């Protein structure tokens, strides 16, 4: 009987030591990831290992988007994988959709629609993926509506760009709110 009573505290002590070691390893990994994210915030790029966490990949992808490296950011999204549809993946997917929409808006008035349409289609599909994962993301819904307006009706697209805003305001001068329904 005495041996069983002595065994229980030893097992509890071993379990506590194991939990402490696991927490220490986790703390070290999280601290390392946070220092890499801080590097991206300072403007320095750093390559990631293949097994990098999705949050780290998303941080690098957003860094790459900020430096107009859309293809490299797409590679980071691909590295995150499809199974991780929430959180970091969704954030990077929203950033990519915005980059494609901004590029489409930049060339909309000067390029033929056949060059603009693929960018709009990419943005729309990425916004739809964001909304499937998070239906309450109103920014993605609003931007999806803008992309849809660009792809379906060239006149609405010109209103979004502000080309006919003065003419429209003259037609309905007492309409409340911003011209052309913009916020």
Residues 35 and 49 in one domain: no
Given a cut of 90, whether residue 31 has pLDDT beyond it is no
Looking at the structure, tell me whether residues 55 and 110 fall in a common domain. Answer: yes
> What SS3 state is found at 137?
coil
Q: Residue 167: its pLDDT value, please?
A: 46
Residue 28: its pLDDT value, please?
Answer: 62
Is residue 74, in this structure, part of any structural domain at all? yes
Which own/partner pairs from 74-79 qualify as long-range (CB within 8 Å, at least 24 positions apart)?
Answer: 76/48, 79/48, 79/50, 79/52
Q: Where are the beta strands (DSSP E) in the chain?
A: none
The pLDDT of residue 148 is: 86
- Is 13 in the same domain as 95? no
Instruction: Pick 176 or 114 by higher pLDDT.
Output: 114
What pLDDT is attached to residue 165? 45
Residues 151 and 117 sit within 8 Å (Cβ to Cβ): yes
- Is the pLDDT confidence value at 1 over 60? no
**Domain count of the fold of the chain:** 2
Dist CA 67 CA 120 (whole Å): 21
Q: Is the pLDDT of residue 2 over 90?
A: no
79 with 26, same domain: the answer is no
Quickly count helices (H) and strands (E) in the chain. Answer: 8, 0
pLDDT at 83 over 70: no
How many C-beta atoms surround the C-beta of residue 122 within 10 A?
A: 20
Residue 36's domain comprises: 1-44
Q: Are 80 and 130 within one domain?
A: yes
181 lies in some domain? no
Distance CA 128, CA 110 (A): 27
Work out the average pLDDT over 135-139: 90
Give pLDDT, residue 174.
Answer: 44
Higher-pLDDT residue of 78, 174:
78
Name the average pLDDT for the chain: 75
Q: Binning pLDDT at 50, 70 and 90, where does residue 3 land?
A: low
**Given a cut of 80, is residue 6 above it in pLDDT?**
no
Contact criterion met (CB below 8 Å) for 91 and 121: no
Does the residue 142 lie in any domain?
yes
Q: Which of 170, 30, 160 is nearest to 104 (CA)?
A: 160
Q: How far is CA 71 from the centre of its chain?
A: 14
Same domain, 33 and 95: no
Q: Is the pLDDT of residue 78 over 70?
A: yes
CA pair distance 156, 137, nearest whole angstrom: 23
């Amino acid at each position: 009987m005495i041996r069983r009573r002595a065994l229980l505290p030893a097992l509890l002590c071993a379990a506590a030591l194991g939990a402490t070691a696991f927490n220490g390893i986790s703390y070290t990994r999280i601290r390392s990831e946070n220092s890499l994210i801080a590097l991206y915030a300072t403007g320095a790029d750093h390559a990631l290992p293949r097994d990098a966490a999705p949050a780290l990949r998303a941080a690098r992808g957003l860094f790459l988007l900020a430096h107009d490296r859309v293809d490299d950011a797409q590679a980071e999204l691909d590295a995150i994988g499809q199974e991780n549809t929430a959180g970091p993946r969704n954030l990077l997917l929203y950033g990519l959709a915005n980059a494609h929409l901004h590029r489409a808006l930049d060339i909309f008035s000067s390029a033929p629609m056949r060059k603009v349409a693929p960018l709009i289609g990419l943005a729309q599909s990425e916004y739809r993926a964001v909304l499937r994962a998070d239906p309450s993301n109103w920014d993605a819904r609003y931007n999806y509506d803008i992309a849809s307006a660009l792809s379906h009706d060239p006149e609405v697209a010109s209103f979004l760009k502000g080309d006919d805003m003065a003419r429209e305001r003259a037609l309905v001068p007492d309409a409340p709110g911003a011209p052309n329904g913009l916020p």
